[in-house]
């Protein structure tokens, strides 16, 4: 038994091959995590996400926001966003993520899922601007949700639960070899906020 259960263990790789996923479990107490949830809900400049998918203009129910060291332009699904300057809490959380992963991040993509109807389809975060094999730190607040990885060739899937106040790190060749998704669910009626701290390659 681990008597020091508050010790963060980001050592074990949860993927069997071709990439690295490390999960902290609850990094914050429930009180701290709930406080961050409320502050993020109320201070972040949430906007519905827009995308062009197969020529169609889509507006998602999920809300997003994009923050960073500088006004980076970030383009995906044929829409461009400009990073807003860090808020106090986002900077605190960025430092917590950096302390736990040993990596450095210069930007953060935030997602607000209002309930289990909202999710994110299988994708890899393999945009050129992210650089190759860089670390992404994913923090979750609010409702617990299932998270899935699927290998692009073997189709093997690995599932886990992302808890309130937890940290998940994705790194190495993961984005080349694995997809990930947040499946919608009929069992969750409360919101969840996810933060992915990223390292953009700057010119």
Residues lying near Fe ion in the complex (CB under 5 A):
125
- Residue where the block lists tokens 């994110």: 120
The structure tokens listed for 97 are 């993520």
Long-range contacts of range 8-16, CB-CB < 8 Å, 24 or more positions apart?
A: 8/100, 8/167, 10/100, 10/101, 10/167, 10/169, 14/158, 14/160, 15/149, 15/158, 15/174, 15/178, 16/156, 16/158
Cβ distance to Fe ion smaller for residue 32 or 127: 127
Answer for which of 96, 101, 107, 111 binds ligand AKG (CB under 6 A) is 111
Neighbours of 114 (CB within 10 A): 14
Rank residues 171 and 180 by Cβ distance to ligand AKG and give the closer one: 180
Check if the beta carbon of residue 198 is closer than 8 Å to that of residue 110. Answer: no
Helix (H, G, I), strand (E, B) or coil at 95: helix
Interacting residue with ligand AKG among 40, 93, 97, 109 (CB under 6 A)? 109
- Binding mask 10-29 toward ligand AKG (x if CB under 6 A, else -) reads --------------------
Q: Name the residue nearer to ligand AKG (CB basis): 92 or 145.
A: 145
Q: Is 94 in the site for ligand AKG (CB under 6 A)?
A: no
Q: Could you tell me whether strands 84-85 and 56-68 are parallel, antiparallel, or unpaired per DSSP bridges?
A: parallel
Q: Which of residues 139-178 bind ligand AKG (CB under 6 A)?
A: 147, 162
Among 130, 169, 194, 197, binds ligand AKG (CB under 6 A): 194
Least Cβ distance, residue 175 to Fe ion (angstroms): 8
Chain residues binding ligand AKG by CB under 6 A are: 109, 111, 120, 125, 138, 147, 162, 180, 182, 194, 196
């Amino acid at each position: 038994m681990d008597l020091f259960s508050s010790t963060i263990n980001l050592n074990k790789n949860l993927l069997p091959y071709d990439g690295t996923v490390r999960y902290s479990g609850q990094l914050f107490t429930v009180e701290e995590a709930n406080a961050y949830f409320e502050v993020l809900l109320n201070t972040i400049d949430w906007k519905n996400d827009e995308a062009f998918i197969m020529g169609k203009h889509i507006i998602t129910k999920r809300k997003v926001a994009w923050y960073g060291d500088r006004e980076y332009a970030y383009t995906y699904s044929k829409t461009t966003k400009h990073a807003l300057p860090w808020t106090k809490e986002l900077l605190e959380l960025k430092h917590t993520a950096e302390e736990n992963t040993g990596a450095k991040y210069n930007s953060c993509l935030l997602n607000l899922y209002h309930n289990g109807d909202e999710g994110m389809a299988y994708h890899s975060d393999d945009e050129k601007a992210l650089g190759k094999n860089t670390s992404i730190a994913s923090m979750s607040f609010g409702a617990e949700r299932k998270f899935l990885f699927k290998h692009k060739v073997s189709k093997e899937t690995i599932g886990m639960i992302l808890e309130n106040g937890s940290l998940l790190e994705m790194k190495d060749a993961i984005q080349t070899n694995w997809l990930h998704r947040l499946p919608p669910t009929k069992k969750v009626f409360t919101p969840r906020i996810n933060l992915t701290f990223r390292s953009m390659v700057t010119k």
